[in-house]
Chain A
């Protein structure tokens, strides 16, 4: 393998106009508005879910994606029929980005039987195989080998597609991630490893957790890599398009580090007062909010009017309320549901081949 293959993809300077990248230039006005709408819908969904959490309607963890919306929306907007997505526990944005209905998503948070995982998974475990979305995984870095496995299956079946395996910046220090990097490169798997670098692995800054540059580690595995800003959905799309094409056309993996920021704590259990300042968050929100930035762009492009932007926001808030109302009205699963969806065979008794007891007391 030549050294050329590990060269970093030069990315975003402020001077680069990512809107002119072919993958963006060809977007229709409607498609641009749809990108904006998805980001707004994610944010309003999550704000609504936080209120529900504070009202004690939701148990466990709630890892909010607020501030990172352009990453999932930009990446997932590039998906073709054989492209697949897997991510970690901060998964609400990806689920909405791939097109999941917000009602079952909210109901899952409420622990209701109408939830996308029937109330069995919770916030960290959203799945929708019909939309090529494979979760929603709770253990840091544990989903990354699975993402390489999705790519393995695509290649094995001769399908032209790519897997996007998302992780946070904290995951890059997990062994499973490095094992997946090695296998993906060794076996020429069509996977893009996406590091959503929001600067903090829980309450530990990148400087305190990771030696060296994060994406650059890919070079050690003979993979191409790139870095870009995650505040500009055009930039995310321009960068990811190159690497998705590399995967689909050449069966080569890559690693893309997308710099982003979360406005909320690691989870709702994080008081967010030990590792960063309120000024830092405010500064970010003021200057690099992905939704505001994209709204400004679309206004300048005359694709969007202030009135349309307002209407989209109003509709997104209403959609989130509808999802919350749906969840509120939905039934909880019953204790009888605890032991379904454990074994395929138990759920498909007509096709069961094994004998003996599957469950114990």
Chain B
């Protein structure tokens, strides 16, 4: 199986879907002539032309609104946010218009858009460029939210997202773009809402998603080697729809839970998960549900300190040991 980067995997998904469906249009800032701010869309303009791969001005509310309007007439825009942090200037378009138009029309309209781009800290760009809004997005019924951690997942989930008839928000990670992994060539589709056991284990369930999966896998190695603890790492992959059953299955096996997320703790994805686990698997738990999140402050710039603000293998290990009591 070919080994490619996360960046290439996203690009392959875009190219294959552009090839497959003439209504798919890639648009965003610097996606065409510049070849992508993070080179995700490199080469797509040359291959598909300016009708299919469209540079936009720096005008998120405008071009995302245009994409939503076009989707109501059957176009399937895949719109890049250079950073998901910029969703705030298009909030009304994304979460009033795209999220609500089906409902407010009594089901007469659907809105098959994808908005994709990186949503992560860790790159020393300060608070305005480091938002992880998956909890904010998933708080809006009508939308779907995907946060892939590996190249193979990125490709398979993006292809599903583009084929989906509901608005899908796809959160990538600049720190993962260079990560390599095996990815099937050609048709490779992973359904949204299906979690994946990235490492099986018996003593502790680490529920996580996105880049925190990598940190959790690194910590699980150390747990195995130095503490004789078998940790299961469950990658949610999709936040909404949510594979609750996979979480409950793992909890029934390990009886202990640590949730790891690159999220501010207040009303995070982990908050929802913790509620659901205690509500639906209370008798399976041998101890309180533990959680490791980003330290609760705006993203700090200072490079060595930002590492400590986010989940990292050392912090995951420490949290896991606390969860094991």
Among A7-15, A41-49, A133-141, A261-269, the one that faces the other chain is A133-141
A125 touches B51 (CB 8 A): no
Question: Is B128 close to A, CB under 8 A?
Answer: no
B interface residues, tally (CB under 8 Å): 57
Q: Known interface pairs A127-B109, A359-B141. Does A148 touch B66 (Cβ–Cβ under 8 Å)?
A: yes
Binary interface encoding of chain B residues 94-119 relative to chain A, with 1 for a CB under 8 A from any of its CBs, else 0: 00110001111111111010000000
- The contact string, 1 if C-beta is below 8 Å from chain B, for chain A 136-159, is 111100111111111111101100
Selected interface stretch from B9-17, B41-49, B158-166, B308-316: B158-166
Which of B55-63, B260-268, B284-292, B298-306 binds A?
B55-63
Is there contact, CB below 8 Å, between B166 and A344?
Answer: yes
* Residue B197 at the chain A interface, CB threshold 8 Å: no
Flag if A353 contacts B96 (CB, 8 Å). no
Segment 133-156 of B: residues with Cβ below 8 Å from A? 141-142, 144
Query: Which residues of chain A have C-beta atoms less than 8 A from B242's C-beta?
Result: 356-357, 360
**B105–A176 CB distance below 8 A:** no
**A125 lies within 8 A of B104 (CB):** yes
Is A353's CB under 8 angstroms from B93's CB?
no
**Once the chains bind, are B74 and A354 in contact (CB under 8 Å)?**
no
* Secondary structure class of chain B's binding surface, majority of residues: mixed
Q: Does A172 contact B (CB under 8 A)?
A: no
Say whether B106 contacts A356, CB under 8 Å: no
Whether a CB of chain A sits under 8 angstroms from the CB of B243 is yes
Residue A275 at the chain B interface, CB threshold 8 Å: no
- How many angstroms from the CA of A148 to the CA of B65 in the assembled complex? 8
Within 8 Å of chain A (Cβ to Cβ): is B67?
Answer: yes
B110 to chain A, nearest CB (A): 4
Contacting pair B166 A146 (CB below 8 A): no
Residues A182 and B57 in contact in the complex (CB < 8 Å), given A353-B191, A356-B192: yes
* Contact present for A128 and B108 (CB under 8 Å): yes
Binary flags per residue of A155-187, CB closer than 8 Å to B gives 1, else 0: 011000000000000000001100110110010
Q: Is the CB of B97 within 8 A of A147?
A: no
Task: Please name all residues of chain A whose beta carbon is closer than 8 Å to the beta carbon of B96 when the two chains form the complex.
Answer: 138-139, 142
With A176-B62, A355-B191, A359-B141 in contact, do A152 and B69 touch (Cβ < 8 Å)? yes
Q: Measured between C-beta atoms, what is the minimum distance from A175 to chain B in Å? A: 6
The answer for the CA separation of A336 and B102 in the assembled complex, in Å, is: 17
Q: Is the beta-carbon distance between B102 and A144 smaller than 8 angstroms?
A: no
CB pair B57–A344 under 8 Å, yes or no, is: no
For the complex, is B324 an interface residue (Cβ under 8 Å from A)?
no
Q: How far is the CA of A348 from the CA of B166 in the complex (A)?
A: 11
CB distance from A195 to the nearest CB of B (A): 18
- Select B194's contact among A151, A153, A355, beta carbons within 8 Å: A355
* Nearest neighbor of A358 in chain B, beta-carbon distance: B241
Query: A342 with B65: in contact, given A127-B106, A183-B59 (CB under 8 Å)?
Result: no
Q: Which residues of A contact B276 (CB under 8 A)?
A: 360
Residues B141 and A342 in contact, CB atoms below 8 Å apart: yes
Q: For window 311-349 of chain A, which residues contact chain B by CB distance below 8 Å?
A: 339-345, 347-348
Query: Which one of A19-27, A113-121, A200-208, A231-239 contacts B?
Result: A113-121
Tell me, rounded to whole Å, the shortest Cβ–Cβ distance linking B87 to chain A: 14
Query: Given A120-B103, A129-B108, A176-B62, does the pair A146, B192 have CB atoms closer than 8 Å?
Result: no
Interface string of B70-105 (1 = CB under 8 A from A): 111111000000000000000011001100011111
B144 partner residues in chain A, CB cutoff 8 A: 343, 354
> A137 vs B72: C-alpha distance in the bound complex, in angstroms?
14
Contact B107 A347 (CB under 8 A): yes
Question: How many angstroms from the CA of A358 to the CA of B72 in the assembled complex?
Answer: 22
Interface presence of B240 (CB below 8 A): yes
Identify which of A125, A179, A344, A348 gathers the most chain B CB atoms within 10 Å of its CB: A179
Contacts of B62 in A (CB 8 A): 145, 148, 176, 179-180, 182-183
B70→A125 contact, CB < 8 A: no
Q: State whether the Cβ of B244 lies closer than 8 Å to any Cβ in chain A.
A: yes
Q: In the complex, how many angstroms separate the beta carbon of A3 from the nearest chain B beta carbon?
A: 22
In the bound complex, do residue B104 and residue A117 qualify as a contact, i.e. CB atoms below 8 Å apart? Answer: yes
Which single member of A128, A134, A186 contacts B57 (CB below 8 Å)? A186
Closest chain A CB from B240 CB (angstroms): 7
Segment 98-132 of A: residues with Cβ below 8 Å from B: 115-121, 125, 127-129
Contacts of B25 in A (CB 8 A): 156
A342 touches B56 (CB 8 A): no
Measured CB to CB, the closest approach of chain A to B188, in angstroms, equals 14
Q: B243, A356: Cβ atoms under 8 Å?
A: yes
Whether A152 pairs with B107 at a CB distance below 8 angstroms is no
Q: Are A117 and B192 in contact, CB atoms less than 8 angstroms apart?
A: no
Check if A150 sits within 8 Å of B191, measured CB to CB.
no
Report the separation of the CA atoms of residues A358 and B64 in the bound assembly, to the nearest whole angstrom: 24
Contact of B192 among A115, A144, A157, A353 (CB under 8 A): A353
The smallest beta-carbon distance between B99 and chain A, in angstroms, is: 9
- With known contacts A135-B104, A145-B62, A341-B103, A150–B93 Cβ distance under 8 A: no
User: Can you list 15 pairs linking A and B with CB atoms under 8 Å apart?
Assistant: A134-B72, A135-B101, A145-B66, A146-B66, A153-B69, A156-B70, A176-B92, A341-B102, A345-B166, A353-B192, A354-B164, A354-B192, A356-B238, A356-B241, A360-B242
- Residues on A facing B (Cβ under 8 Å): 84, 86, 115-121, 125, 127-129, 134-139, 142-154, 156-157, 175-176, 179-180, 182-183, 186, 339-345, 347-348, 353-360
A-B interface, 4 closest residue pairs, ranked by CB to CB distance from nearest: A149-B69, A145-B65, A356-B193, A179-B62
19 extra A-B contacts, CB within 8 A, seeds A137-B97, A142-B92, A153-B71: A116-B106, A118-B106, A118-B107, A125-B105, A142-B65, A146-B97, A153-B70, A156-B75, A176-B92, A176-B93, A182-B62, A343-B102, A344-B112, A353-B163, A354-B144, A354-B164, A354-B192, A358-B241, A360-B272
